[in-house]
Amino acid sequence: MSFGFKENTIDRCIYLKVNGSKFIFLILYVDDILLTTDDLGLLSETKRFLSNNFEMKDIGEAYYVIGIEIFPDRSQGLLGLSQNTYINKVLERFIIDKCSASLIPIQKGDKFSLMQCPKNDLEWKQMEDIPYASVVGSLIYAQISTRPYISLAVGMLGRHQSNLGLEHWKDAKKVLRYLQGTKNHMLTYRKYDHLEVIGYTDSNFVDALRSLFRLIGCGTLFQDLE
């Protein structure tokens, strides 16, 4: 922070320095640092500062960070993030790497309810050694890193970690099977000259969405959405 970085108030591991029209982000993970910037001069200056104050090793451009593979394509203005390797490790860990793929992580008719929880000691005993919480934790990391669209299924599964039944376990494996079939997919960011913020919501939340767009000054986009 003495070098001009400001700490992100939401995620304490992210720091930002702005120098005129130039900027640089510093992302800290334990003893690893990831730098991203729009100016090579600012990057070199930051590296020198860090090297003068800490014992560090510069390993060059980042292609793999905490289980996420990075695929930059500057000519097309694209940045792809993949968790192929991570997903393979998760599938192998839970001995499901040879499973058939599922087309979707959750479908109409899938139910998550207390009626599926164990009802007697025998059913409780059957669930004791099932690594359900570990599976949900592994899915959460994929969800927050590159697979935001499995959030609904993961959120529903997470509600039953302390009282799971066999059907919950089957549903958790369905999400793993979905990742098996889509492990080569990437979360892709594309460079745009004009950034638009566009949101989608269930009609039940239309008033909440209108308030959100008004708050961030995107009322015209809401009109398009309607």
Q: What are the structure tokens assigned to 80, written together?
A: 């792809």
Residue 93, CA distances (Å) to 69, 88, 90, 126, 141 in order: 19, 9, 5, 20, 15
- The model's confidence at residue 208, banded by pLDDT at 50, 70 and 90, is low
Where along the chain do its domains lie?
6-60, 84-182, 197-226
3-state SS of the chain is CCCCCEECCCCCCEEEEEECCEEEEEEEECCEEEEEECCHHHHHHHHHHHHHHCCCCCCCCCCEECCEEEEEECCCCEEEEECHHHHHHHHHHCCCCCCCCCCCCCCCCCCCCHHHCCCCHHHHHHHCCCCHHHHHHHHHHHHHHCCHHHHHHHHHHHCCCCCCCHHHHHHHHHHHHHHHHHCCCCEEEECCCCCCCCCCCCHHHHHHHHHHHHHHCCHHHHHHHC
pLDDT digits (tens, 9 = 90+) for 37-72: 989 999 999 999 999 999 989 988 989 988 899 999
Adjacent-strand bridge partners of 71: 80
* Spatial CB neighbours of 202, under 8 Å, sequence gap ≥ 6: none
Nearest to 91 by CA among 104, 101, 105, 80: 101
How far, in Å, CA of 1 to CA of 60, rounded?
23
In this structure, the chain runs to a length of 226
* Spatial CB neighbours of 47, under 8 Å, sequence gap ≥ 6: 35, 58
Question: Which amino acid type is present at position 201?
Answer: T
Out of 124-138, 140-154, 193-207, which region has the weakest mean confidence (pLDDT)? 193-207
pLDDT digits (tens, 9 = 90+) for 14-32: 999 999 999 999 999 888 9
pLDDT value at residue 225: 44
pLDDT digits (tens, 9 = 90+) for 79-92: 999 999 999 999 99
CB 115 within 8 A of CB 168: no
